[in-house]
Structure 1
Amino acid sequence: MPEARGKPRAAVPVETADLRLIRIFLRVVEAGGLSAAQSDLNLALSSISEKIAALEARFGLKLCKRGRGGFSLTPAGEDFYKEAQRLVATMEQFSTRIAGLSSQLPRNLTLGIVDTIITDPLCPVAGAVALFAERAPSVHLEVITLPPGELLREVIGQKIDLAVGSFPRAVLGLDYLDLHDEPHHLYCAQGHPLFNVPDHDIGIDTVREHRIIARSYWAARDIRIFAIAAPHATVANIEAEAHLILSGAYLGHLPAHFAAQFAGRLRPLRPDLLSYAAHFQIAARQDWQDRAAIRCFIEALQQTSRDLMRR
């Protein structure tokens, strides 16, 4: 496909379909290649390649080199990238202004989140709230905290507009948009019999001899690895679990960022064997792209999440 640098040609009107292709192109460039952008775009590699090819055909430009040699922009692609950035920025500014004027925007937006994520350095909620307040200043924001399963039920029931959390099971009728992973370790506290036992002397059989906590929404995951019939205690949120662990009588999983505030009082047991990553996502009804306020907040979450992971 010939590059059009320096050759005047008829202006190509930008259509709605072009904007989606342009946004995909921007994500690919920002990620550093097609493969790196897959998880962010939630598209197959072949689909991303087809969309980039469609964008090149649409504007008559060779935008990038891709293949075994890696990904790189052509000179025309570098210019196109800069212009695309300006276009998207202008559109976002327009959307921000219209958000404050449009009577179609709802007066309220309800966000549901799981508990104790405020200490997670990759949690995008605070940054997204700041962006949303700027872009949709007339919308009243309500935030509620519930366990993951209840959040999904509330989204399905249209009692909340979107949810952020790690969801043990998917509910049909919702879209799930990836954010980040949250490491969890199995902890014991000072006073527990295992607190001073070296890791090399601790195995699953050893742990099984002690009281184990399960979260009501993740009970199967929490006890499956230990092959026990039932947990010795059940909690509905992370803070309740921390209380039991800090008693020195129980073992349980906690997010690493949350447990860090109890350094010296808590100890992770066999991270190589007993740790896992909780995958955080946005859950929203499948028509979220047609709802301006929800779309605005989801885009703010995604933008903030990308920025945090680049730091």
Structure 2
Amino acid sequence: MESKVSNSGNNGSPRIENATVTINNVDLKLLRVFKCVVEAGGLTSASNELNIGLAAISKQLSDLEIRLGMTLCSRGREGFELTEYGITVYQATLELFVSLNAFRDRLHNSRNDILGDFSISVVDNTLSDVNSPVTKAVQRFHLRAPKVNIRLQTAHLDEIERGINEGRFNCAIAPNYSQNDDFDYYPLYNETSCLYCGSDHSLYLLNANEITIEKLKQEKIINHTYVTHRKGNPLFAFKESPIQAVQVEAVAMLILTGQFIGYLPRHFAEQYVRSGALRQLGPSELQIETPFCLIMKKGRKVNQIIKLFMESLGCPGAP
């Protein structure tokens, strides 16, 4: 959740003390709109996702505030910010929809009809990897459960882990750089990363036998904070490098300046190598293998939808 807590206080809709809140279908609709606005980071982004106008979204947020008797957010020229009440309502909304989905799953499973919502997150810049099973898995999953509402989102690793913990994602497919005790990991495949330089770099035109390990160690190397994890190549002092980047595209931009060398996923870099913009450096011993896994919140119950998706992935740990 990227929205900030509002510093403007909780003025606006009056807070109703000791009121009993009941939930009906209209309230669920309003809560879904509120949830979408929070996760989109504001009304404009939510408007595109919900395909309704800004005025309509603002009206529904106001209706919800009146219904609950509290101000949930500020949404003026200074941007969108949640109040303390808004944070509480958002967290309660996540819990409510998790419970509703569990209720619906139980009813649907009793009639052998697979229905429900399924939210998957995939780390960005993996589409070009032929080893990734995601596209085929979603295809198989949809053919077997066409009535399930699928929401597929790409994100960077921090957002993926946060989304799983908050219940916004049922599961994710992402690299496993280090075991996090909050999650269960199911191995899927490995991603290979290689060392590259740009066409303007001094190493680009050298013969392969001139590019020694010692020469590479003297170059300015990018600390790609995910790929150059603790299992990365020990020849380079990544942590001492003042040049850092997180996303794959950011690393590629830095390499293309011709000032630095750095690691990129081989499948991502191939298009730039073919065009002559990048050159792979060093022997195969410098490559880094990163395991990709299906990730879920530890202890999460594997319902029929998740089980079917794991089967579609060919996941070795599928129950």
Question: Which TM-score bucket, shorter chain as reference?
Answer: 0.5 to 0.7
Distance change in 2, residues 1:155/1:236 (3 Å): same
1:146 aligns with 2:155: yes
The alpha-carbon deviation at position 119 of structure 1 amounts to 0.7
Specify whether residues 252 and 228 from structure 1 end up closer, same or farther in structure 2 by C-alpha distance, changes over 3 A only: closer
CA root-mean-square deviation: 2.7
Instruction: Give the Cα separation in 1 of the matches to 2:262 and 2:310.
Output: 32
Q: Contact 1:223–1:231 (CA<8 Å) still a contact in 2?
A: no
1:119-268 to structure 2, matched below 5 A, reads 119-221=128-230, 224-227=234-237, 229-262=239-272, 263=274, 264-268=276-280
- What is the CA distance between 1:219 and its match in structure 2? 4.9
Aligned partner letter, 1:302: G
Give yes or no for contact 2:211–2:282 (8 Å, CA) kept in 1.
yes
1:290 match: secondary structure = coil
Aligned to 2:3: none
Q: Render the CA deviation track for 1:39-97: whole Å, top value 9, x for unaligned.
A: xxxxxxxxxxxxxxxxxxxxxxxxxxxxxxxxxxxxxxxxxxxxxxxxxxxxxxxxxxx
Query: Which residue is 1:276 aligned to?
Result: 288
How far apart in 1 are the matches of 2:217 and 2:315?
42
- Residues 195-218 of structure 1: CA distance to partner in whole angstroms, max 9, x if unpaired? 122333323432232221122334
Q: Could you report, residue by residue, the CA deviation over 1:243-277 in whole angstroms, capped at 9, with x for unpaired residues?
A: 22122122111111111111122111113332121
Structure 2 unaligned blocks of 5 or more: 1-107
Q: TM-score by structure 2 length?
A: 0.58
Q: 8 Å contact 1:190–1:266 — kept in the other structure?
A: yes
Query: Partners of 2:194 and 2:219 in 1: how far apart?
Result: 16
- Is the partner of 1:132 in helix, strand or coil? helix
Assess, with a 3 A threshold, how the Cα gap between structure 1 residues 183 and 122 changes in structure 2: closer, same or farther: same
2:297 matched to 1:285?
Answer: yes
CA distance in 2, matches of 1:205, 1:303: 41
TM-score normalised by L of structure 1: 0.59
Which one-letter code corresponds to 1:207 in the other structure? Answer: L
Letter in 1 for 2:286: L
Aligned length: 206
2:98 alignment counterpart: none
**SS of equivalent residue, structure 2 residue 314:** helix
Instruction: Give the alignment partner of residue 314 of structure 2, picking from 272, 286, 302.
Output: 302
